[in-house]
Amino acid sequence: MDVQAKPCYKRILLKLSGEALMGEDSFGINRAVLQHMIEELRTALDLGVQVGIVVGGGNIFRGVALGATGMDRATGDYMGMLATVMNAMALQDCCRNNGIEARVQSALNIEQVAEPYIRGKALRHLRLGRVVIFAAGTGNPFMTTDTTAALRGAEVGADIVLKATKVDGIYTADPKKDPTATMYDEITFDEALRNNLKVMDATAFALCREQGLPIKVFNINKKGALRRVLLGEKEGTLVHS
C-alpha cells in the first residue's frame, strides 16, 4: 500500500463498458487492454481504495444483436446480462493471474460460475480488500449497466461512480464533429441536464443526483489516469450536486 499518497475516496464504483475491453478489435476481449485495466486497478488497491466494478457486455452482445432484429426486448436484455457475466469472469481471471483477489457477484442465479449478489457479502469482500465485480446488471430487463453502476454504487456506499470511457471527459459538444468543443473540468447535475449532455442514461443520472453520488468521467486508456483521479489531480470531468 502506498502510505505516502492520500486518496480522495475510500470506496469507488468503477463502471467499465464492454466496448472498452475490446480495444481496437471489432468484438470480444483484447488481452492487452484487459491487462492494462488490471494494472490501473492495482494502483487503486495500492492506495488502499476499495473497488467495486460494474462491467457492460457490448463487446460481446453488440455483434449478436446485429442478427437479432425483431427479438423481444426482454430476451435481448437477458442475453446482454449473460454477456456481462462473461466479461466479469474474464476480469476476475485476469485479477487472479496478477495476484489480486476478486469476486464476481451476479444478479442472475448462476452459482456454478459466480456468487449471487448479496449486499452484505459484497460489503464484506470490499472491507477485506477484494475487488467485487457486479455482473448481470440489475437482473431486470429494460435497465442498463449505467443504472446498475448507480444502484450498486449507492447500495455499497461508494464515494463516487467512476465512468471509464475512451474519451478524456465530458465536452460541450462531440469533439469528433465540432473542433471547437471544449472539455468541462466539472459540471453540476442540473447543468448537465439543462445542456442535454449524455453523461449516463436518464435513470442512472437521476439516481446519482438523488443520492448525492458524484460521477467522474475519464479516459481509462491513459496510463495512470485512475490513480490521478483518486488523488484528486486534474483528470476527466466531475459531475456533482
159 is in an annotated binding site: no
In a domain, 167, yes or no: yes
18 is in an annotated binding site: yes
237: β partners: 217
17 is in an annotated binding site: yes
In a domain, 134, yes or no: yes
**Domain boundaries, position 97:** 11-239
87 is in an annotated binding site: no
Tell whether the model's pLDDT for residue 87 goes beyond 70: yes
In a domain, 1, yes or no: no
Query: Which grid cell is 100?
Result: 489480486
93 is in an annotated binding site: no
57 is in an annotated binding site: yes
Tell whether the model's pLDDT for residue 240 goes beyond 60: yes
221 is in an annotated binding site: no
Please name which of 122, 27, 36, 32 lies closest in space to residue 83, comparing C-alpha atoms. Answer: 27
pLDDT (tens digit per residue) in 172-188: 888 878 888 899 999 99
pLDDT at position 67 is 52
Percent helix, strand and coil across the chain, each to the nearest 5: 40, 20, 40
143 is in an annotated binding site: yes
pLDDT at position 131 is 98
16 is in an annotated binding site: yes
In a domain, 3, yes or no: no
174 is in an annotated binding site: yes
89 is in an annotated binding site: no
Count up the domains in the chain and report the number. 1
* Across 123-132, average pLDDT: 98
pLDDT (tens digit per residue) in 40-67: 999 999 999 999 999 999 888 765 555 5
Here the CATH number for the domain that contains residue 61 is 3.40.1160.10
In a domain, 2, yes or no: no
